[in-house]
Structures are given as C-alpha cells and as structure tokens.
A and B are shown apart, each in its own frame.
Chain A
Amino acid sequence: MAWRDSRGKRRILLLSALSIFFGVAALVAIGSLRDNLEWILEEQTRSLLGADLALEARQPFNDEMERFFRRLGGESSREIRFQSMAAFEGTDAVRLVQVRSLRGGFPFYGAFETDPADRRHLRPGQAIVEESLLMQLGLRVGGEIRLGRSSFEIAGALRRVAGESEVTGFFAPRVYIRWDEVEATELVQKGSIVRHRIYFRFDEGLTGAAAERFAEAEADLFVRNSIRSETVEQRRRNLERLLGNLFGFLGLIGLVALMLGGVGVSGAVQVYVREKLPTVALLRCLGGTAGLVFRVYLLQVAVVAAVGVSLGALAGVGVQHILPVFLAEFLPFDFEIRTSYRAVLGGLVFGWLVAMGSALLPLLEVRRISPLAALRADFDAQKRTRPDALTVAVVIALAGLLIIFSLLQTAVPWHGAAFAGVLLGTLGLLVLLGMALRRILRWGVGQRGSFTWRLALGNLYRPQNRTLFLIVTLGMGAFLINTLYLASGQLLGQVRVTETGDAANLVLLDVQPDQVVELSEALAEAGFPPRDILPIVTMRLDAINGRSLTDLRNDPEANMRRWVFTWEFRASYRAELLDNEVISGGEWIPLHEGGEPYPISVAENILRDMNAALGDRLVWDVQGVPIETYVASVRDVEWQAGRQNFGVIFAPGVLEAAPTIFAVTTRVSERAEAAAIQQLLIGTFPNVSMIDLTLVFETLDDLLQRAAFVVQFMAGFTIATGLLVLAGAILTSRYQRIRESALLRTLGARSRVVRQVMGIEYALLGLLGGLIGTLLALLVSWALTRFFFEMAYSPAWTGLLISLVGLVALTLVTGFLVSRRVATQSPLIVLREEG
C-alpha cells in the first residue's frame, strides 16, 4: 500500500532523498579518509620520524651529551642543518636553501627518495637538491650548485625524506652535501645558526633501559643543555592531533551539509504530506486508523531516506579518492586509499537518522489530519495546534544527534560543543529572523509599490509559502561559506598586508659583527640602504624567580609551555619601541647604567608561555655567562605586521659585550633588485643568508590557499545541498506557480510580467537569505578573529558583496531553471482545471 500510494508523487520523495545525498557523501568521504590516515599512522609509525628518537641542539653537543649518547646505546646517525644562499651554474638564480649533511645510517626507517634512486650516499663533490627547486629553475641532475666557497655537482633530485612532507622544503629547499665537505664551504662560522641533530635506532624501539635513560635526561640533562627531543610516539601523537583537528573540522563542514539536507528533507516531506492530505483524509474516512496511515507514510519516507543515504555513501567512497590529491603535499607519507566500512556504516546510520528525524517533524502531522478534511478541503488548513510532545521529542533528538556527532568529530570536547551551539544558535536565529521578515513584509508591503513588486512580495508570505524554509536554507549556506571565507581571509589578509606599504621586505641574516659596516655600505651604494640593523644574542633561560628550569620542568604545577625549557632565545637590545608594539604593562627602560638585575622587556605571549609576570626575576645563560634580569615591561607585539621583532629585548648597555650576530633589513621594490642583492651576497658575503619576505609571503599565501581549497571543496557540498534544497522548494511550489502564472496571463498579463514577478521573488529570497547569513557570518568571524586568532578584525567587504551578488544570481538562475516554461505555460490550464 505504501508503494502504491507514493505513485504520482515520487518526484517529491526523490527530491527529499537527494537533499541528504551530499551531506552523507561528505561525511563518508571524510570519515573514510580519517580512518585511512589512522591506519597509515599505525602501519608506518616508525617511518614518521625515520628513527626511534631525534635530538636537536643549537650548538655542537657537549661532552656531557656525548657521554649520554654512549650510555643510551642503539645505533645513531648525525646531521647538521643551516640556512645558506645557493647559486646555480648557468643561471643568475640565487636561492635561500637549507643545507643538510648526514653521517650514519639515517633514515633508519622509511624512505630517502631521490631521482635517480639510491643517491643517499654521496661521492665527494656531490649534492642532492630538492626536486621542486630544480624544476623551478629548470636545472637537471649533473648541473652545479655553489654553496659558500664550494661547488657541488647535482647528483640527484630529492623527493622525500622519511618523516617530512613536501611542504618542508617550500620555504628553504633542502640540499644535502657530504659531512666532510661542510667546513670547506666556510658557511658555518661563529654565531651562525646551525642545528645539530642526532638520530637513534633501537632494536626494540625506545623501550626498556633506553626509554628510562631518555626519560631521566628529558627531565634534567636536556633542560640544562637546551636539547629538543622528539620520539616517534610524540611525532605520531602530534600528527594524530593535527590530522584529527583537520578532519574534525572537515567533518563538521560535512555535518552542516547533512543538516542542511535534513532541512531539505523536512521541506520536501512537508509538501508531500500537504499534497497527500486528501488521500489521508479519504483513508481515514474509509476506516484507516491514524496509526496505520502514519505507518504507510513513515515506511515510504524510511525507504526513500535509505535510498538517499546509500547513494550518498557510494558517492562519498568515490570522493575520498579526490581529497588526498589536495592534501598529499602536507602529509609526511604516501598512502593508498582503502574503503573504510566503519565510515560507510557510520555515514549510512547517521545520515538515515538525520533524514528520518527531519522527515518525522512534518510527517507527524499525518496523525492529526481529520477525516473531515475529505469533506471540507480547508478543514485542516484552518486548524492551528501547538506542537505535541512527540514533535518536541523529535526536535530534541535531532539537536542531540547534532551535539553527539559534533563531539565525536572534535578532539577537544568544547570545540564540538561550541560548534553545535553556534550551528543550533544560527539555525534558531535564521528561523526567528525569517519569521520576523515575513511579518515585516506582510506589514510593510501594504498599498505601496508597483503591481509586480507587490505580487512578488506577496508571494513571500502567501499561504503555504516556502519563504522561511528557503531563507533558513540559503542563509545557512551563506553563513557557512562566508564564515569560512572571512576567517581564512583574515589569516591570508594578515600575510598580504605585510607585502604592501613601505615595510622592509628583505632580511639579511647571520651578519658577523665585522661585516655590518661593510655590508651596510654595500647595500647603500647599491641603492638599498639598511632600514634596521638588529643585534642578536642567543641565550637560554636558566631560572625563574630563583627556581631552576630543571626544577620547574619537573613540577607539574609550574604550568609552563614545554618549548620554553629547551628553547634558545634570540634576544636583542634597543632604546626605542617599534611601531608594531605597545607597552601593556610596566615601564620601557631605554638605557640601563646600573648592575644586575638588568631590566628586560618581554612580549606578552612569551611571558604567558613562561607563566611569568611583570617584575619576575629571570636568569639567562648567555653563552655560558649567567645574567640576572627582571621583567621591567610587557609588550603587546603585533607579530603578523611583518616588521621584525623579538620576544626578549634588553636595554642598551648590557649585552654589547656578548657574542653577537646581526640581522640587517632593507626594502626592494621588485624581484630583480632582490636578485641583485643576492648576487652581491654570494660574491662578497657568502655566509650571509637572505630571506625575501615577499617570496615567503607568496609561498605562505600559496600554502594557505591550497589548504583553504580543501575546506572550500568540502564547503562546496554544503552549497550544492543548499541549491538542491532551493531547487526542491521551487519545484514543489511549481504547480502553484504555473496555476497563478496561467491565471495572470488569462487576465491579460504578458509573460514578461510573470517573469518579473518570479525574478523579484527569487532575487529577494537570495538577497534576504544571503544578507541574514552574511550578518551572522560577520558576527561569528569577528568573534573567531578577536578571541581565537587574537587579531584586529577587518572583513573583506568586496568579497562579501561578491558572494552576496553570487548567491542572488545562483538563486535566480536555479529559480528560473526550475521554473522554466512557467511564464509561457498555456493559460488554458486554468480552464482545463475547471472541467
């Protein structure tokens, strides 16, 4: 009976099934991909780091550390890394690269992929160069690369090193040379920033005695020697957390598509029930109980929802193969996609529950259709009743489903709860605003305006209108897309703002004290006078308020960020404040002429991570010499503003005698000028490396755009659902529109008038939904920017305007596509209907 009854109205049911298609597809794709990554992390754990343990220091390991390495046992391999400028034979190109040199068998696990293969062990005079750099410069294997005073033959292109993604080489492409050839380059000098690393492999992994010794060292030895460590387990946990956050976020976007699909299901079933009203009334007249009739329609909807979610799950299995294409370069491993049946089942069950919950809301009305409606068509239309307990229960269950799923998606419970809260709040606000809008229209239309306008506006609040439903759908789509757009735009905008204006955009690093004057003069002669000459003194924190860092490291209540214990701080000294910082506490001391403790100024975020406060005593180890300081002032630094700054600033008169290297900044207006400076450096100052901030920002921009694309791709599912729901809503009111259009044309209206009425109606729906969604997006993105990113808020108004116009255009196009032939339908149908 359920099947027979659906005859003739199956199109509406199909629409309802399609509404959830994209949502389920998104959830299955994300869920399956997430499971795949979990499996890979499980299977390839050891290759995530290439070793069981990696240790890193900013200075050569001292004797105490060497003794520890011997005690630790296992197989070890050493590496040094530093940045340098590299020149390439046959081109004028000079690039900042990261030079690496390995001794020993690293990587112990996973690949060291080169082209040609197996070039890990170099012959004298050879180098391996990042493949992307070779491609960018049009260089080939066999060419020559110059680093400092030495030249090397390019023996191979570097594709992948275990534990690193392609992104690793984006900012400073990797170049590997032999261990015994580093010195001859003369790039490593006193004060140069060189990272010394040692990798360990243990037969049983980092377990047993090795693990115990490591744990002991972590608590004391590493803190005293500023050793940063990473175990394969830590790397895995970090990756899991990172990927968990990413996929949680993508899953939440998919969830929005599903919820929006739920709104679509609800709308389609509402129309279906309305059109079935005479049948239901007749069935009741013929003796069918309310329960029986309800079950007939419940069965129809259950089957259709099952079809919709099944199709969506199938599509999701296909889509999961597309996403890795965009993500591959961010992941430190290769992987093949397998279908996760757990994710498919999850998507099916959750999608079906959402679809059924959404369908139940209008479907419950079936129980209340009186048999009297068979006699009087307007009987039920006139009846208004409050929602019954079952309806309330379904609403609560739906909200519960949303909250549970949000919590499951996110690693941090409050993130999921906040998301569900914002989503439910937005939905509620959209409903309230939509209702208010209908009232305003009804009240405001009145007798003013032209006939076409009044008719179009009237359609927005006519009986059985779909205004509220469409405004919620379109508004939700606009809200989501614009929130993503504004939030990512805020981050990208911060990058772009630094490119503009008159700020310095070249930073020359590792300038030795005896090179400062000569380099400055050379720059000035070339037409690029230095903007800032920044002294840099490396130091590490020894104690806070009399407590050693080792002591604090082992105090669970110290509440300090882990990085502080082993960080090598790069402090500076100057008398003036910069324009990208303000004093938020204490007093800026421009000159100190007394003895210890010396006044320092610390950036707010650094002080927070140290869990220290204004006035606290900090002891620093300045390359072997302890210096006692106190926090005289706290600065609020705008780190994103592009101008160089330092976390810790001393007053002049304290650090001048300490071993210092310098950074020099200048500004170039075009790429060719930067190339000229690069040539100057490589010839005269080979140890000085240069960071082209414009290039860095471009790369960062490119990376963010690529990352944003993944998010936009998923958001596309929401938009697709929104348009589908919109098309469904228009399609379900198509018959009524055709009838009205035919009537108007019978009364003498030209088809243009009918089109105008439809055009105004669709445009208004798009505009109102878009406006409400955009306003809510502004509110949420403001809150995100202000409280989460902690940045100044400057929304991209042009983009918002374009998105609003785009939404109106999409609504219009969808509306007219679905309503085609409505305006030209023969008026005869009015008469035919009479017969």
Chain B
Amino acid sequence: MAVSDQSDCILEVSSLTKTYATAHGPLTVLEEANFALARGSTAAIVGPSGSGKTTLLGLCAGLDTPSTGSVRLAGEALEALSEDARAAVRMASVGFVFQNFQLVPTLTALENVMIPMELRGQRRARAIAADRLAEVGLGERLDHYPIQLSGGEQQRVALARAFANEPEILFADEPTGNLDTATSELITRLIFDLNRSRGTTLVLVTHDPELAALTERVFRINRGRLAEDARAVMAAGSRD
C-alpha cells in the first residue's frame, strides 16, 4: 500500500464485496476489493464494460452500501452511516464529474455550480461559483442554461461544480467519454491542474489508457476482482 499513515489516507477500502440477489441465485459483482489512497494522490480504475467499475465507484463514494467489507472515506466508516449521513459526507468532502455532465437543466451554469455550496449553506456561494467558472474559462457564460452550452462547456461547468466545495476527493466517471479530442485534452488538463493546485485526491474511472496513464496508480477490475497494475505500482513507488 502506498499510504504510510492513517491520517494521510482519504479513502480506504477493505474486503469490499457486493452481491446482488438474482433469479438465478446470488451474483457477485465485486469481490474482496482492498486498497487505500493517500490524500492528494491520483488513481484510475480501468476495466471492460460490466466488470464492476461503476459498482466500485458507487461504493467508494457512499452512493451504495456493500454486502460485506468496509469503506472509510475522509475518516468516516460509510457502512455505519444512513443515506442522509453519507450525503452529508459527500457534501463535505466529495466532488463528482460524470460522463454525461449531469447538470440540472432548470438552473443556469452559475446556479449549477452553486448547488454544493448552497446545500452546505455556504456564504458568498454566488461569488465563489463565478470564480470557479472563470477558472474553467466560462466567466462569460454564467447565465447560460445547460441546453445553451456545448458538451465541452457543460463538462467544464460540471468540473467547476465538482471543485466548488473544495472537496478532498474527486470521483470522475469517464469525464472525457463524450468529448472530442481537443476538448478531452482541455478537460484532462483542468482536472489535473485542480488536483495539483488544491491537493484534491483524484479517482478516475476510464476506458482511456492514455488518461489512466496520467494517474499515479491504476487499478484493473475484471469480473469483480480488483488488482493494481504492477507497472503503475512501481511508478507510484518510484514517485514516493
């Protein structure tokens, strides 16, 4: 493991298993996953479709509960918390970026970025949101609705929203999956810039090997079994 101290660890996954009951008996989609991520580190989860990537991400972010095992996120054991309490952890410490952007269509770009801060009751949400949008190059598009923005612009709004709360960890699910090459590069650069400038831990779920290669650690998942890529481990070790 690349985490030396408990206080350095933002995410710790232990013996994590998720099983669904089906008509044909129990179906295990994630089996005995173990890993820990240090604060400020970057990691990628890669694997074919249906391998369990989304399940793992959902469990790590507290969007779902495991069948067995535990997830400790930002110091909180998620399995012991109710859904509302997990929502509070997400509000305080987690940012998300999705492949399909997931902006609220009724709200402007600025209002979408304000959501996490408003949920926290944070002051100056409007000014901060405007700053975040300016940082991702959308300072002139504050009052635009999602439908009035291109895919790349929508993803930049999503990124500004993800960082609005200054989260300790950012989960990004195929953040460049719906974008062209140039826009993908822009978004990738923004994500890693923000990771570096704010020390936010980055967990990427991606099919893109080039994007995965930019992270310090790469986890491969296949048929529910998680394994860390040795090359990446070595690279991470050399960086440590």
Bound pair: A and B?
yes
Q: Which residues of B contact A827 (CB under 8 A)?
A: 63
Q: Which residues of B contact A835 (CB under 8 A)?
A: 49, 53-54
CB–CB B99/A743 < 8 A: no
Q: A750 near B: Cβ within 8 Å?
A: yes
Q: A378 near B: Cβ within 8 Å?
A: yes
CB–CB A740/B49 < 8 A: no
Q: B23 near A: Cβ within 8 Å?
A: no
Q: A747 near B: Cβ within 8 Å?
A: yes
Residues A831 and B98 in contact in the complex (CB < 8 Å), given A747-B90, A747-B116: yes
CB–CB B115/A744 < 8 A: yes
CB–CB B87/A830 < 8 A: no
Chain B residue, CB-CB nearest to A749: B119
Residues A746 and B63 in contact in the complex (CB < 8 Å), given A751-B83, A751-B84, A834-B54: yes
Q: B58 near A: Cβ within 8 Å?
A: yes
- Type the 1/0 row for B67-101, where 1 means its CB is closer than 8 Å to any CB of A: 00000000000000001100110111010101110
Q: Which residues of B contact A378 (CB under 8 A)?
A: 147
CB distance from A298 to the nearest CB of B (A): 30
**Cα distance A812–B96 when bound, in Å?**
32
Among A125-133, A273-281, A451-459, A575-583, which stretch is in contact with chain B?
A: A451-459
**Cα distance A747–B95 when bound, in Å?**
7
Q: Which residues of A contact B223 (CB under 8 A)?
A: none
**Cα distance A747–B102 when bound, in Å?**
11
**Cα distance A801–B54 when bound, in Å?**
51
CB–CB B54/A750 < 8 A: no
Chain A residue, CB-CB nearest to B145: A463
Q: A454: which of B53, B58, B88, B111 is its contact (CB, 8 Å)?
A: B111
Residue of B84, B91, B100, B126 ringed by the most chain A CB atoms within 10 A: B84
Chain B residue, CB-CB nearest to A750: B84
CB–CB B88/A748 < 8 A: yes
Q: B107 near A: Cβ within 8 Å?
A: yes
**Cα distance A752–B85 when bound, in Å?**
12
Chain B residue, CB-CB nearest to A827: B63
**Cα distance A378–B151 when bound, in Å?**
12
Residues A447 and B126 in contact in the complex (CB < 8 Å), given A740-B104, A827-B63, A831-B173: yes
CB distance from B225 to the nearest CB of A (A): 18
Chain B residue, CB-CB nearest to A463: B105
Q: A826: which of B63, B94, B111, B177 is its contact (CB, 8 Å)?
A: B63
**Cα distance A830–B100 when bound, in Å?**
9
- Type the 1/0 row for A821-835, where 1 means its CB is closer than 8 Å to any CB of B: 000101110111111
CB–CB A833/B100 < 8 A: yes
CB–CB A745/B87 < 8 A: yes
CB–CB B90/A748 < 8 A: yes
Q: B64 near A: Cβ within 8 Å?
A: yes
CB–CB A451/B99 < 8 A: no
Interface size on A, residues (CB 8 A): 33
CB distance from B37 to the nearest CB of A (A): 19
Q: B174 near A: Cβ within 8 Å?
A: yes
From 169 to 221 in chain B, residues with beta carbon under 8 angstroms from any chain A beta carbon are 173-174, 177
Q: B57 near A: Cβ within 8 Å?
A: yes
Chain B residue, CB-CB nearest to A378: B147
Q: B135 near A: Cβ within 8 Å?
A: no
From 328 to 385 in chain A, residues with beta carbon under 8 angstroms from any chain B beta carbon are 378, 381
CB–CB A828/B64 < 8 A: yes
Q: B32 near A: Cβ within 8 Å?
A: no
Q: A753 near B: Cβ within 8 Å?
A: yes
**Cα distance A373–B91 when bound, in Å?**
37
Q: Which residues of A contact B90 (CB under 8 A)?
A: 746-748
**Cα distance A833–B64 when bound, in Å?**
15
CB–CB B106/A832 < 8 A: no
**Cα distance A746–B171 when bound, in Å?**
11
CB distance from B143 to the nearest CB of A (A): 10
CB–CB A747/B84 < 8 A: no
Q: A140 near B: Cβ within 8 Å?
A: no
**Cα distance A354–B49 when bound, in Å?**
49
CB–CB A463/B57 < 8 A: no
Residues A830 and B83 in contact in the complex (CB < 8 Å), given A748-B91, A753-B119: no
Q: Which residues of A contact B100 (CB under 8 A)?
A: 833-834
Chain B residue, CB-CB nearest to A382: B147
Q: Which residues of A contact B57 (CB under 8 A)?
A: 831
Residues A831 and B58 in contact in the complex (CB < 8 Å), given A743-B104, A748-B91, A749-B119: yes
**Cα distance A740–B102 when bound, in Å?**
9
Q: Which residues of B contact A447 (CB under 8 A)?
A: 126
**Cα distance A381–B102 when bound, in Å?**
18
**Cα distance A607–B88 when bound, in Å?**
80
CB–CB A748/B94 < 8 A: yes
Q: Which residues of B contact A830 (CB under 8 A)?
A: 63, 98, 102
Residue of A751, A827, A832, A833 ringed by the most chain B CB atoms within 10 A: A827
CB–CB B118/A451 < 8 A: yes
Q: Which residues of A contact B53 (CB under 8 A)?
A: 835
**Cα distance A747–B161 when bound, in Å?**
9
Chain B residue, CB-CB nearest to A458: B106
Q: B115: which of A381, A451, A828 is its contact (CB, 8 Å)?
A: A451
Q: Which residues of B contact A751 (CB under 8 A)?
A: 83-84, 87
Q: Which residues of A contact B49 (CB under 8 A)?
A: 835
Q: A834: which of B84, B147, B161, B173 is its contact (CB, 8 Å)?
A: B173
Q: Which residues of B contact A744 (CB under 8 A)?
A: 104, 115, 119
Q: A462 near B: Cβ within 8 Å?
A: yes
Q: A461 near B: Cβ within 8 Å?
A: yes
Q: Which residues of A contact B102 (CB under 8 A)?
A: 743, 746, 830
**Cα distance A459–B147 when bound, in Å?**
15
Chain B residue, CB-CB nearest to A754: B87
CB–CB B147/A381 < 8 A: yes
Q: Which residues of B contact A458 (CB under 8 A)?
A: 104, 106-107, 111
Residue of A451, A826, A833 ringed by the most chain B CB atoms within 10 A: A451
**Cα distance A664–B236 when bound, in Å?**
111
**Cα distance A497–B177 when bound, in Å?**
74
**Cα distance A403–B94 when bound, in Å?**
61
Chain B residue, CB-CB nearest to A834: B99
CB–CB B104/A749 < 8 A: no
Q: A463: which of B94, B106, B161 is its contact (CB, 8 Å)?
A: B106
CB–CB A747/B106 < 8 A: no
CB–CB A828/B147 < 8 A: no
Chain A residue, CB-CB nearest to B126: A447
CB–CB B83/A824 < 8 A: yes
Q: Which residues of A contact B177 (CB under 8 A)?
A: 834
**Cα distance A749–B87 when bound, in Å?**
6
Q: B106: which of A462, A750, A834 is its contact (CB, 8 Å)?
A: A462
**Cα distance A831–B57 when bound, in Å?**
9
**Cα distance A459–B63 when bound, in Å?**
25
Residues A747 and B119 in contact in the complex (CB < 8 Å), given A381-B147, A462-B106, A463-B147: yes
Residues A831 and B105 in contact in the complex (CB < 8 Å), given A748-B91, A750-B88, A751-B84: no
CB–CB B98/A459 < 8 A: no
Interface residues of A (CB under 8 A from B): 378, 381, 447, 451, 454-455, 458-459, 461-463, 740, 743-753, 824, 826-828, 830-835
Q: A748-B91, A831-B98, A834-B174 are in contact. List 16 more A-B contacts (CB 8 A).
A: A378-B147, A455-B104, A461-B106, A743-B102, A745-B83, A746-B63, A747-B115, A747-B116, A747-B119, A748-B94, A748-B116, A748-B119, A830-B63, A830-B102, A831-B63, A834-B100
26 A-B pairs with CB atoms under 8 Å apart are A455-B104, A458-B106, A463-B106, A463-B145, A463-B147, A743-B102, A743-B104, A745-B87, A746-B63, A746-B90, A746-B96, A747-B116, A747-B119, A748-B88, A748-B119, A749-B87, A750-B88, A753-B119, A826-B63, A828-B63, A828-B64, A830-B98, A831-B173, A834-B54, A834-B99, A835-B54
Interface residues of B (CB under 8 A from A): 49, 53-54, 57-58, 61, 63-64, 83-84, 87-88, 90-92, 94, 96, 98-100, 102, 104-107, 111, 114-116, 118-120, 126, 145, 147, 161, 173-174, 177
Query: Which 6 interchain pairs have the tightest Cβ spacing?
Result: A748-B91, A462-B106, A458-B106, A451-B118, A748-B90, A750-B84
